[in-house]
Amino acid sequence: MTVTQLTRRAVLGLIAAAGVAAPAVADVDLSGKTVEWVIPFSETGGSAKWANFFAPLLSEALPGQPTVVVKFMPGAGSTKGANWFQEQKHEDGTLLFGSSGSTQFPYLLDDPRVRYEYKDWSPVMASGTGGVAYLNAEDGAKFDGSANALQETDFIYGSQGATRLDLVPLLAWQMLGMNVEPVFGIKGRGDGRLMFERGEANIDYQTSSGYLKGSAEMVANGQAVAMMTWGALDEDSNIVRDPTFPDIPTFKEVCEATDGCETSGEAWDAWKAFFVAGFPVQKLAFLPAGTPQDVIDTYTKAFEAVVARDDFADISSKRVGKYKVFTGNGANAALGTATSVPDAAKVYVTNWLKEAYGVELK
């Protein structure tokens, strides 16, 4: 089965699952309680902005309107927080965990640091996102829709790690023939943006929420130049322009305009497979193992109420972008899409990580 067939089937499955209504909810009262929403990154990144956007809305929608507090547990590219969450058990419905593509990719690649199992957790909400790569003003002046004039430039990039969500931009830049040297070890994409702002890096990428909140202003002020988005998937799993950034070309468009870059073959299939696993379903909210069904149903109902708000489309587009939000059965289907890639793509990326960065996953 081809990557296109897999992604088309996944997209259709998500759409179908998203249309299934949540079950009736038993009486769960969170009055006077505090819900801790743990994010395994720093407070400066896209996941922080995503959780901080949803937290007050979730507080209003949950029965008893508990206080929802976002807490941060950065380290090891998010595996520290995910390993911690794996050990947590349900007590009273007051613990929520936020996963991102940088948590999913080590799991997909059998990273030995991973001691968590997504199948043990209960997903109650999932949302897609996009990503925007941008250049400093000097190098951005050379960008003409292709990377041809950028191939002799030495770029520095602040990275969380090659096995994290950063593998999507790193592989894309390599396919474009660009010389991008990652500085590994930052705790969140917001820290990469700070490196860029200080002039310690001359290329960066942010997920949509991070770009909208922190990077778009730099582009508007002429301090940076938007290069490309990763795009979005249409109903036939073709990559099209990101609905949040329709004026910015996709990586596919830039690749097609760049000498030596191909939008077919092993490299492209691997890049697209990990893009699909990491972005159309990029951020997920989980309850811990052992959570009773009535609590799961309560959170599902609450997130459904958030998405059904009359003002949700407007406020979400400005804070996290114009992307589908999945709840209930849709969230479960989304988890399946986010935690599976074809074997051929996995083999390609594993070999590329070893050759490009000396990363061996055993």
Mapping DSSP to helix (H, G, I), strand (E, B) and coil, where does residue 135 land?
strand
DSSP annotation string for 7-73: HHHHHHHHHHHHTSPPPP------TT-EEEEEESS-TTSHHHHHHHHHHHHHHHHSTT--EEEEEE-
Confirm if 34 and 67 have CB atoms less than 8 A apart.
yes
Q: Which helix (H) or strand (E) holds 225?
A: strand 224-229
The pLDDT of residue 13 is 52
Q: Which helix (H) or strand (E) holds 227?
A: strand 224-229
Helix-then-strand count for the chain, H and E: 15, 13
Decide whether 3-129+279-343 matches 131-277 in CATH topology.
yes
Beta bridge partners of 157: 182
**Per-residue pLDDT in tens (0 to 9) along the chain, 362 residues:** 444 444 545 544 554 444 444 444 458 999 999 999 999 998 988 899 999 999 999 999 999 999 999 999 998 889 999 999 999 998 799 999 999 988 999 999 999 999 999 999 999 999 999 999 999 999 999 999 999 999 999 999 999 899 989 999 999 999 999 999 999 988 888 899 999 999 999 999 999 999 998 899 999 999 999 999 999 998 888 999 999 999 999 999 999 999 999 999 999 999 999 999 999 888 999 999 999 999 999 999 999 999 999 999 999 999 999 999 999 889 998 898 889 899 999 999 999 999 999 998 86
Handedness of CA 48, 50, 51, 56 (dihedral sign): positive
- Tell me the CATH number for domain 131-277: 3.40.190.10
What 8-state DSSP symbol labels residue 87?
A: T
- State the Cα–Cα distance between residues 39 and 303, nearest whole angstrom: 18
Q: Give pLDDT tens digits for 73-82.
A: 998 889 999 9
Number of neighbours of residue 184 by Cβ within 10 angstroms: 15
Q: What are the residues whose beta carbons fall under 8 Å from the beta carbon of 265, sequence distance 6 or more?
A: none
- pTM summary value: 0.83
The pLDDT of residue 145 is 97
DSSP annotation string for 155-222: EEEEES-TTSTTHHHHHHHHHTT-EEEEEE--SSHHHHHHHHHTTS-SEEEEEHHHIIIIIHHHHHTT
Q: Which helix (H) or strand (E) holds 296?
A: helix 293-307
Q: What are the residues whose beta carbons fall under 8 Å from the beta carbon of 300, sequence distance 6 or more?
A: 22, 23, 124, 125, 327, 328, 331
- The domains of the chain are located at 3-129+279-343, 131-277
The CATH class of 3-129+279-343 is alpha beta
For 39, the token pair is 């994010």
- State the Cα–Cα distance between residues 15 and 137, nearest whole angstrom: 40
The pLDDT of residue 214 is 87
The pLDDT of residue 23 is 45
